[in-house]
């Protein structure tokens, strides 16, 4: 029954996408066979009112009809241009996560259930909502401090029922991913089921506001000494799973260009500060804000940038940070062989491919940019082209690198909005250059040696346990060689049930879709 319900929800979502013109807006002139027929039928079934809209407006209308879960799906897929393509990702990034507010009394009940105290005991005043999104809404409030002073805060409250709705829709997402992985061979490299698992995990994290508070706290510590950048402080006493209380930010949204000018801000300085701050977080800390669009960025009176809404954050390990710095440095110095070698050393490109051939493909990306003025060269565009080339060499999708690429596209776009002549390379050089000198020079070699010694000592401490495990493994392999690999009865039954369920879900979905197409055809006659 779960598979049937998921299939019906999937068909409903597809029908709404067709009616709102989303499918018809996709490029289909080059399609052949059944895909071409389906695209032409979608064009015939599109609402007349939808035909006059742009593609991004059609997406917005469809998502509004589908509900909050699909808003989150759209926002997540906007971070995965490797899955949906750059053009669709840009359209999805424009989706406005604005939903109807829910009553203040409901928010109060959510707060009291989460924190175990009445709202009147937590806040001196608690106002009506000022913004509402798919997962939560925000209220202005005031709290009385120990010294008797009053401080204004922003209170974020989870939308009631959103977890249940998301888990219900998630079943249909997984069904679509399984069907795609099974029947669309070209999509298997993108691992749609793994992508859906990532969506499920990131959204579950975003729905626990304690984790957003922890991310704010971590970035706050990382950037405490940074010039011109900060995040709001967290009121931990008034924060729980369903409620987050942070300081209220008085500033101009970075999306309000005229407001920034009217406040007397230096837009070029703000653009440089934004990009350098993002690169510091990425390279130095390995932890960055993953949703730095202009609506989440404020500029205070002294020019300090304040980033809010940290529901999406990205992490890079030391290997990924070195990978990023080395490829950027390699492009700057035109050392394409080194850029290629870094991909192989990191294990991103299989060793079955030829380093020289990969370096040649990278040269095709790098050479054209060296004849252009520096202010026209986009670092984000460069990474987009690079990840496109890696498709030819079987590079598996790296979620952390794709999120980094998407965030860099957004940050660089914001900077160019503030300063149309923005020079990405000149601005980033102080941060990238300093990181390379510290981590790839003599100091970096010493750090690597220290890490190697620490790893060796740890391995030496585990040697007795490893030896015992190796001995047990050897005995088990000998037994397998002598008697063969055997499953117990319960394991065999579990494998059978899983395979039957997998096959049944695909068959059910195909029958439901076929029935829906017959119904549509009858409606048209």
Residue 336's nearest CA partner among 371, 279, 386 is 386
Q: How far apart are CA 338 and CA 359, in angstroms?
A: 8
Question: Cβ-count burial of 93 within 10 angstroms (0-12 exposed, 13-18 middle, 19+ buried)?
Answer: buried
Paired tokens of 334: 């035109």
First to last CA, the chain: 32
Q: How far is CA 498 from CA 5, 15, 80, 283, 522, in A?
A: 18, 30, 29, 43, 36
Residue 89's nearest CA partner among 304, 372, 410 is 410
- Are the C-beta atoms of residues 92 and 59 closer than 8 Å to each other? yes
Question: Cβ-count burial of 412 within 10 angstroms (0-12 exposed, 13-18 middle, 19+ buried)?
Answer: buried
> To which H or E segment does residue 280 belong?
none
Q: How far is CA 68 from CA 56, 74, 83, 167, 524, in A?
A: 17, 10, 21, 12, 31
Q: How far apart are CA 144 and CA 311, in angstroms?
A: 27
- Which residues are the active-site residues? 291
Total Cβ atoms within 10 A of residue 165 = 15
> To which H or E segment does residue 488 belong?
none
What are residue 305's phi and psi, to 5 degrees? -85, 130
Residue 125's beta-bridge partner residues?
142
- Are the C-beta atoms of residues 70 and 63 closer than 8 Å to each other? yes
Residue 437's nearest CA partner among 382, 429, 65, 497 is 429
- Are the C-beta atoms of residues 157 and 137 closer than 8 Å to each other? yes
């Amino acid at each position: 029954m779960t598979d049937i319900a998921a299939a019906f929800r999937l068909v409903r979502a597809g029908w709404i996408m067709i009616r709102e013109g989303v499918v018809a807006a996709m490029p289909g002139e080059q399609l052949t066979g059944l895909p071409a027929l389906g695209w032409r039928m979608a064009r015939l079934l599109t609402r007349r009112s939808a035909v006059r809209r742009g593609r991004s407006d059609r997406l917005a209308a469809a998502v509004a009809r589908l509900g909050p879960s699909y808003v989150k799906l759209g926002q997540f897929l906007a971070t995965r241009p490797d899955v949906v393509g750059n053009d669709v990702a840009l359209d999805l990034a424009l989706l406005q996560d604005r939903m109807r507010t829910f009553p203040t009394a409901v928010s109060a009940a959510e707060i009291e259930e989460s924190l175990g105290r009445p709202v009147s005991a937590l806040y001196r005043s608690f106002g009506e909502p000022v913004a509402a999104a798919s997962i939560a809404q925000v209220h202005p409030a005031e709290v009385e401090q120990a010294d008797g002073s009053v401080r204004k805060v922003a209170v974020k409250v989870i939308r009631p029922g959103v977890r249940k709705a998301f888990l219900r829709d998630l079943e249909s997402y997984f069904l679509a991913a399984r069907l795609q992985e099974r029947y669309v061979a070209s999509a298997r490299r993108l691992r749609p089921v793994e992508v859906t698992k990532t969506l499920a995990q990131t959204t579950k994290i975003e729905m626990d506001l304690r984790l957003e508070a922890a991310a704010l706290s971590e970035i706050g510590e990382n950037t405490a000494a940074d010039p011109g950048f900060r995040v709001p402080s967290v009121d931990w006493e008034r924060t729980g799973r369903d409620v987050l209380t942070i300081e209220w930010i008085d500033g101009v949204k970075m999306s309000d260009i005229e407001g920034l000018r009217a406040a007397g801000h230096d837009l070029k300085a703000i653009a440089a500060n934004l990009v350098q701050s993002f690169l510091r977080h990425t390279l130095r800390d390995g932890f960055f804000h993953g949703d730095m669009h202009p609506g989440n960025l404020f500029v205070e009176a002294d020019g300090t940038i304040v980033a809010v809404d940290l529901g999406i954050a990205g992490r890079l390990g030391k290997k990924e940070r070195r990978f990023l710095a080395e490829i950027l440095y390699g492009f700057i110095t035109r050392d394409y062989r080194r850029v290629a070698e870094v991909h192989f050393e990191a294990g991103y490109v299989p060793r079955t491919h030829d380093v020289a051939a990969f370096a040649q493909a990278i040269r095709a990306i790098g050479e054209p940019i060296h004849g252009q003025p520096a202010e026209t060269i986009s670092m984000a565009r460069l990474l987009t082209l690079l990840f496109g080339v890696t498709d030819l060499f079987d590079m598996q999708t790296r979620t952390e690198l794709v999120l980094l690429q998407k965030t860099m596209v957004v940050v660089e776009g914001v900077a160019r909005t503030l300063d149309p002549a923005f020079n990405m390379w000149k601005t980033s050089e102080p941060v990238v250059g300093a990181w390379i000198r510290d981590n790839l020079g003599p100091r970096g070699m010493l750090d690597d040696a220290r890490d190697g010694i620490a790893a060796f000592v740890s391995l030496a401490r585990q040697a007795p346990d490893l030896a015992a495990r190796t001995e047990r493994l050897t005995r088990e392999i000998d037994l397998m060689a002598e008697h063969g690999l055997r499953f117990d009865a319960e394991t065999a039954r579990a494998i059978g049930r899983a395979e039957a369920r997998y096959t049944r879900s695909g068959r059910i979905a195909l029958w439901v879709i076929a029935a829906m197409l017959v119904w549509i055809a009858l409606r048209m006659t």
